[in-house]
Amino acid sequence: MVVDKINVASPLCCVLPMYDSKHSSYVTEEDSDDLNHTTKHKRTNAMLSASAHDLRCLQVEKEKQDPESPRGALEACLNRCSISSSEDPPQNKEAIENADADVRCKNLRASSNWGKFFKLWKRRSMKRLSSFPPLSCAPVISKRNKNADPDVDDLNLHDIYDFQSSLHSFSITDLEIATDYFNPENIIGRGGYAEVYQGILPEGKLIAVKRLTKGTPDEQTAEFLSELGIIAHVDHPNTAKFIGCCTEDGMYLVFRLSPLGSLGSLLHGPSKDKLTWSRRYKVALGTADGLMYLHEGCQRRIIHRDIKADNILLTEDFQPQICDFGLAKWLPKQLTHHNVSKFEGTFGYFAPEYFMHGIVDEKTDVFSFGVLLLELITGHPALDESQQSLVLWAKPLLEKKDIKKLVDPSLGDEYDQDELNRLTSTASLCIEQSSLLRPRMSQ
């Protein structure tokens, strides 16, 4: 059963102190006590009236200033796209140097992908991008070495934005033919904002096409670019391989796919018998490696926020690949967590602190990973048809060490007892009520 993502406003209200400038001058000594009391009262009211939106705006601006963040990489490359789309080239050396400075992203891999993407995309999408809210990003300027050879610097820029990337710009016709005109029978996953279709290219390659289906054009554009900003920073055997996109008649992301499809479609479908115990164990280990990479192996920690069976693609040899970064958030090293004013994701996988308080950190993904382990062990979905939680059903059995009742009946006795004990112990730790008691993925 596939459960849609939800988008519910959080009851939490963040506060932001504000300064009332009306009494910042013309204060006599005798009025100071009354004025201090009045100012304090007004500040208190202002704190109560401020919203989480103000905090989010401040955080967005910080992300824009950081060239290593997904938003920062995106900002620099959007600036480059805007500059290169002008029909009239810069008329002087200073303008050329300023244009170059705007696009020096620190993350060279991300820059290469973005350069390729925007060169292929800009002619079709500039009109759509013009509807995106104005972007104001401080240029990523690095001091040039006056003695450096300018040809070397130019060569580096050329290499960064070379066309020899693997990204491909698909036409809407390509994707319609590949997915049988987005036949509902080819849907392999659904979320709050998108549907994922299985498709096949003329040369026989299988693809997964993520099609944004909800929201205004501006919201879809923001969602599209946000996910691309994350994907540009991700490169690991256990993350989905992004191969291209399309911006005709909508927003589409295209990933490599194997005939096995997603873990969810296999585990909860008619081909369940293909998932032997050894393959389930392999999926568990690979998913753990992928999450450890996102949390500790990237330049910026990435919190996926939607780990579930439908978001795990399987290769031909049952190697898991984490996909769908539409809800992912990057977490700078100076922050311990994010506080979000609304929660998004899939029922059955929510960590308690995320659901109740809007707290997002690595332990949010750890809880979801624990639910995924229970799915692999039991064969049950996170929520069954009667909306019963897998976690609530499994916890008493885990506490009693009644492991045999947890095992998927379709496996019979065909499983390794030591591996089963290891997975059940790990799952039990991952779904702890308190995030402090949950392990990190590297543990």
Binding residues: 210
Lookup: tokens for 145 = 């070495």
Rounded Cα distance, 150 and 90, in Å:
18
Rounded Cα distance, 144 and 131, in Å:
35
Rounded Cα distance, 181 and 322, in Å:
26
* Cα-based angle 79, 85, 88 (whole degrees, multiple of 5): 115
The candidate with the shortest Cα–Cα distance to 324, out of 235, 228, 402, 237, is 228
For residue 344, what are the β-bridge partners? Answer: 7
The candidate with the shortest Cα–Cα distance to 44, out of 72, 16, 66, 76, is 16
SS3 112: helix
Backbone angles phi, psi at 44, to 5 degrees: -60, -45
Residue 197 near residue 147, CB atoms below 8 Å: no
Q: Is 306 a catalytic residue?
A: yes
Burial of residue 429 (CB within 10 Å: 0-12, 13-18, 19+) is middle
Residue 251 near residue 325, CB atoms below 8 Å: no
Backbone angles phi, psi at 55, to 5 degrees: -65, -40
Rounded Cα distance, 311 and 283, in Å:
12
Catalytic residue among 102, 306, 310, 324: 306
Rounded Cα distance, 259 and 200, in Å:
10
Which residues sit in the known binding site for ATP? 210
Those residues with Cβ within 8 angstroms of residue 9's Cβ, 6 or more apart along the chain or in another chain: 341, 342
By annotation, the residues acting in catalysis are 306
